[in-house]
Amino acid sequence: MYTIIPLLLAHIQELNKQILFLFKFIVKNIPLNLEKSKDDSLFSPKYNKLKVDKLPLIKVPEKKDYKQLLEIYLKEHDKPLKPIKSRGRNPVPDDVHCPCCNAPHNYIYDNTGGRGQFLCKVCDTHFNRQNYIDNPPELCCPHCGKALVIKKKRKLFNIHKCVNPNCSYYQSSLKALSKEQLEEYSSNPEKFKLHYIYREFKINFFKIDLYSLPKNASSLQFRKFSPHVMGLCLTYLVNCGLSTRKTRDVLREVHGIKISHTQIANYATTAAYCVKPFVDSYDYKPTNYLAADETYTKVKGSRRYVWFIMDAIKKSILGYRSSDSRDTTPCILAMRMAFDKFKKFPGKALKFVADGYTAYKLAQQQFALHGMHFDVTQVIGLTNEDDVSTEYRWLKQIIERLNRTFKFSYKVTNRLWL
Ligand SMILES: [Zn+2]
Ligand SMILES: [Zn+2]
């Protein structure tokens, strides 16, 4: 009975070796069928949802000149277009002018009785005091030039879609489908992403304050214990990596101090808040090699995502963020925080390495709209099969190791930090 177990184990190991051998054989000798898709994507169209498209073309409405328009009016009607006589309690302020034809305030109607919506008498443009251009520039498909249609309005973004059936993007995604996929597409079209889509973000990621503290940061007023006790708590908890409960036990048994594990947790939180401003404003002098990664961990039973952006050479963490969703917002904020550490943004000299997740590409688009252009290198494969992965894998591995360390110590210290 006892001799069979080592025998079976040896057998399993032998089988395992064979599987590995066969697996390597497949990887080396049987090429992936990539030629089929003409698009440069590594994914089947079924997974196009994970891919980011090119930015749309932006057609800015043509600028007009109100003087010319007034002349045309005079020729057509044989009388000039009269300015508006301001009556009522809300005359249009002197500095308001038409964003489209530049007509001065005496040609502008107040449409909403002082609430900021105006109408130009010369060119019929409606506009708003806050965002001077009421009709936003038209978004067009970069593949066929047709105007995009708003398909979904979400809280954080709108989805614009190219619905042109002759669009080259749509046609080539259709062609890339296999027979079975085509059948599935006709019955469940929502599972596929074959049309060009663009996500327009509504929040201004570039105005959100990065460094604000949560309002519940506790004070450092000691009633029951002294700073010395707090120091002991932090030493055991952080330096020795004990859990809050073990720290409590050590304090009681070694130091004779009775303190609850929640109080220890509170000390740790307070210390974290005190350290945060120093961590955030330190002059890191970052190199141009940044690696980004996201991971998730459980906080009080619910999933939270943690984003890190790290200087891969100096090993300093330049940007971080925790969030309850794995979308672009926290990603952009972490990236902004990291880029903030540069005295001068390196632009195209920056080596920004991330995994294949779309958020980084979407974030890159947002930065590009704000004049910050840089390349994102996505290391997708698990092994060094392509040149990109071979060149940049080491960067990725560094941050993945950081994430593992973080997750480990986070679990041990009873999830204090987020
Ligand atoms: Zn006008
Ligand atoms: Zn199109």
CA of 167 to the centre of ligand 2 (A): 4
CA of 368 to the centre of ligand 2 (A): 22
pLDDT bin (cut points 50, 70, 90) of residue 387 is low
Domain 285-412: CATH architecture, name and number where available: 2-Layer Sandwich (3.30)
CA of 46 to the centre of ligand 2 (A): 18
Helix, strand, coil % over all residues of the chain, rounded to 5: 40, 15, 45
CA of 56 to the centre of ligand 2 (A): 9
Which among 192, 163, 165, 196 is positioned nearest to 180, based on CA atoms? 192
Helix (H, G, I), strand (E, B) or coil at 86: coil
Contact 306, 331 (CB under 8 A): no
Each domain of the chain, given as residue ranges in start order, spans 45-55+138-201, 66-128, 227-280, 285-412
Alpha carbon 402 to its chain's center: 20
Per residue in 184-216, pLDDT tens? 888 888 778 888 888 777 767 677 666 665 544
CA of 205 to the centre of ligand 2 (A): 28
Which among 155, 169, 165 is positioned nearest to 200, based on CA atoms? 155
Per residue in 268-302, pLDDT tens? 877 777 777 777 777 778 888 888 888 877 776 77
Q: How far apart are CA 315 and CA 289, in angstroms?
A: 10
Contact 290, 315 (CB under 8 A): no
Tell whether pTM > 0.75: no
Q: CB under 8 Å, gap of 24 or more: what pairs does 110-114 form? A: 113/88, 114/89, 114/90
pLDDT bin (cut points 50, 70, 90) of residue 130 is low
> N- to C-terminal Cα distance for the chain?
52
Which pLDDT does position 138 carry in this prediction? Answer: 73
Report which of residues 265 and 335 the model is more confident about: 335
Which among 340, 337, 349 is positioned nearest to 288, based on CA atoms? 349
Residue 311 phi/psi, 5° resolution?
-80, 110
CA of 117 to the centre of ligand 1 (A): 13
**How is the beta sheet containing 157-161 ordered, strand by strand?**
149-153, 157-161, 197-201
Q: Could you give the count of Cα atoms lying within 13 Å of 43 in the half-sphere of its Cβ?
A: 15
Q: What is the DSSP string of 197-232?
A: EEEEE-S-TTTS-SSPPPTTPPP---SSS-HHHHHH
Per residue in 150-178, pLDDT tens? 888 777 778 889 999 999 999 988 888 88
Residues with CB under 5 A from ligand 1 (ion): 98, 100-101, 103, 120, 122-123, 125
Question: DSSP secondary-structure letter at 367?
Answer: H
Which pLDDT does position 36 carry in this prediction? Answer: 44
pLDDT bin (cut points 50, 70, 90) of residue 242 is confident
Mean pLDDT lowest among 114-118, 209-213, 348-352, 392-396: 209-213
